[in-house]
Structure 1
Amino acid sequence: MTHHFTRMAAFAIALSVASPLVAQDTPDADTVVATVDGKDITLGHMILTRQALPPQYGQLPPEVLFKGILDQLVQQSALADAYEGDAPRRVRLAMENEERSLIAAEEVGKVLENGVTDAAIEQAYKDTYASAEAETEYKAAHILVETEDEAKALVTELEGGADFATLAKEKSTGPSGPNGGDLGWFGKGMMVPEFENAVVDMESGAISAPVQTQFGWHVIKLEETRVKEAPTLDEVRDELRAKVEQDVVKAHIDALVENANVDTSGSEGIDPALLMNLDLLE
């Protein structure tokens, strides 16, 4: 039924013409903006309806939105009053889901408000970076060829004074060849193990013996190394805040579920494909 109301909202807003409204001194969420057969429609109802609209409606002038939303709620109220009999099962279930979701979100908001503090973020920074070992990064270039003999020949040329970047452009089959074999800066774990092990054992400016990996044979030149400093708190504050939020909410949920009397035995033996069977809601 929701898609019917969405189309009705679009229709109402598109056709609405702003009209003067009776102003109140201090309107709030409980301010009644209309009644339909004695049932109140409040400013709070309108605000929540506005929040649920697709983003493109935000481009409309406020007075058009106001009139369109009010028309929508009046129409919905009249339609709801005209409905005879009990609410369909799908409506009751949807309302239960929506209430559960909204209240759960309120609880999450409280948890985040109380648990995500500057002190918690600072502690996360200490836990993550204070005891972390300094990481060495490497700047290297390589020439990739298919055979060991080709790699040995390159080493011989380089030992004879050939320019590494020139040979890489001429001989390398890897994607870095056109850039003279330059791989930029990288840390441990970013290269395949055979390549990384060779680089770690090299001194700056050195040329490696041929190194075989799954990609072929490499001749490596280690340009330089540096120690990667830990980032400052301000540099990673947003990242740490997100982690603290995730950890706080997860811990709270895990504790609640663990202490709750949860019985999921009713789900045993149910075909998961039934999730697609909308006929069950009728």
Structure 2
Amino acid sequence: MPKGLTFLPSLALATVMALPLAAETKPDASTVVARVNGEEITLAHVIATVATLPPNYQQVEDDVLYDFIIEQLIQQQLLGQEQEGLSNLNALAIENETRSLLAVQTVNALIDEVVTAETIQTAYDARFAEFEGEDEFNASHILVETEDEAKDLKAQLDDGADFAELAKEKSTGPSGPNGGVLGWFGKGQMVPEFETAVVALEKDQVSDPVQTQFGWHVIILNDKRKSEAPALDAVRDELAQDLQSEAIQARIGELTQAAQIERPALEDVTPGIVRQLDLIQE
């Protein structure tokens, strides 16, 4: 028995009569494979259930799958019968679920048609064909508490002192032990005063003291570059989602244009009616 395949552990089936197929009768979709309190389960129900199973269950041997799908349907029928006749809510919920299932099937078929490796590649090429990239900066800094300290550091650097060694010795920031290196960053990733100073620098140029909420900085621009377009794998899911959304909206638009949709004006119906559960309860 495949673990997790059955809906519930085995239940007593005293009320169920499995119907053997007559030797001379060829089975079809309407062939009854079980009855539960008089309600029929057909071969069509079994086939439809198997068709929607996850791929791992599709590998189960047919004789095992057949028996256990029937058992699952029987158990579901037993549990479902407990709710029959309780209220109109159940019937209405089933109608909504059926409508939703049919819509999902249409959407899935549409997605299979429009979202392929080729369409994703085409969408990627179109989006990034003229990609120019954003400015990215590689900078180091020395952080100290006062402007006087920062001015003194700037003077030492102007006289030829090694930036990394001064950062290791003087910086109070977490990057100090690493020579003040901040690595690559883009616009919007640093506080405004720091970013403005970095953007104004040329490669290997050292800034005048810059004040931020963290203290006083002396900054050197190590390098500058343009960001590269993201790899296809990094945006594949996003592109697929965009293709899906566009295709679904286009299809809904086509169907809407071809359909006759009526929404009668109901003067006595107000939005608050959606919460009046008593209207659908017997």
Does the C-alpha gap of structure 1 residues 119 and 83 become closer, same or farther in structure 2, counting only changes over 3 Å? closer
Within 2, Cα distance between the matches of 1:33 and 1:173? Answer: 80
Aligned in 2, Cα 1:132/1:170: closer, same or farther, shift over 3 Å?
A: same
| 1:187-202 matched pairs, under 5 angstroms | 187-202=186-201
Partner of 1:101: 100
Higher helix share: 1
* Comparing 147-156 and 245-254, the one that deviates more: 245-254
CA distance in 1, matches of 2:167, 2:31: 77
Q: How does 1:38-117 map to 2 (within 5 A)?
A: 39-42=40-43, 43-47=46-50, 51=54, 67-78=67-78, 86=85, 88-116=87-115
Report the CA distance shift for 1:105/1:199 in structure 2 as closer, same or farther (over 3 A).
same
Using the alignment, how far apart are the partners of 2:51 and 2:125 within structure 1?
41
- When the two structures are superposed, what TM-score results if normalisation uses the length of structure 1? 0.67
Q: Give me the whole-angstrom Cα distance separating, in 2, the residues matched to 1:67 and 1:249.
A: 38
TM-score (ref. length: structure 2): 0.67
Query: For the residues of structure 2 that align with 1:222 and 1:245, how far apart are their CA atoms?
Result: 44
Report the 3-state secondary structure (helix = DSSP H, G, I; strand = E; otherwise coil) of the residue aligned with 1:10: coil
Q: Decide which structure has the larger Cα Rg and report it.
A: 2
For 2:14, the equivalent position in structure 1 comes to none
Q: Measure how far apart 1:114 and its partner are.
A: 3.9
The answer for the alignment partner of 2:8 in structure 1 is 10
Q: Distance in 1 between matches of 2:183 and 2:79?
A: 66
Residue of structure 1 equivalent to 2:247: 248
Structure 1: runs of 5+ lacking an equivalent: 1-5, 14-20, 23-27
Deviation sequence 1:44-79 (CA, Å, 0-9, x none): 25426855xxx9x97xx8677765543232234356
Q: Which amino acid aligns with 2:247?
A: V
How far does the alpha carbon of each residue in 1:21-50 deviate from its partner, in whole angstroms, 9 at most, with x for none?
99xxxxx99485822146134322542685
Q: How does 1:141-220 map to 2 (within 5 A)?
A: 141-220=140-219
What is the aligned partner in structure 2 of residue 128 from structure 1? 127
Aligned to 1:3: none
What is the total number of aligned residue pairs between the two structures?
255
Deviations 1:193-248 (A, max 9, x none): 32222222211112111222343322211111223343565775454333322333
Distance between the aligned counterparts of 1:98 and 1:70, measured in 2? Answer: 22
Q: Is contact 1:12-1:68 (8 Å) kept?
A: no
CA distance in 2, matches of 1:255, 1:175: 59
SS of residue paired to 1:223: strand
Moved more, 243-252 or 184-193: 243-252
Shifted more, 67-76 versus 252-261: the winner is 252-261
